[in-house]
Amino acid sequence: MAPGSQDAIAQALRKRGLLASDASSSKELEAALRAFQESQGLAATGFPDHETLRKLGIDPRTVDKTAAKPDAGT
């Protein structure tokens, strides 16, 4: 994940009331992601996949470093 991505995900989850403002552990973030995914009818993996990020209002390209890099061969 790109630097700052975890903060962006946490902020989006906090806005939805799924993550406490003082939550700082990765377990809390994962649990909040699972709750969000369940509420959206997504597979509750706790992993911020592209569909989860889109539903959170986050452009997956800003989180996934590999997706944001242009292909050097094209």
Instruction: Name the residue ranges covered by the structural domains of the chain.
Output: 5-68
pLDDT at 67: 53
Q: What is the pTM of this model?
A: 0.80
pLDDT at 72: 46
pLDDT under 70: residue ranges of the chain: 1, 65-74
Quickly list DSSP for the chain: --TTHHHHHHHHHHHTTSS-TT--SHHHHHHHHHHHHHHTTS---SS--HHHHHHHT--HHHH-HHHHSPPTT-
Chain segment 17-38, per-residue pLDDT in tens: 999 999 888 899 999 999 999 9
pLDDT at 64: 72
Contacts of 62 (CB under 8 A, 6+ apart): 2, 5, 8, 68
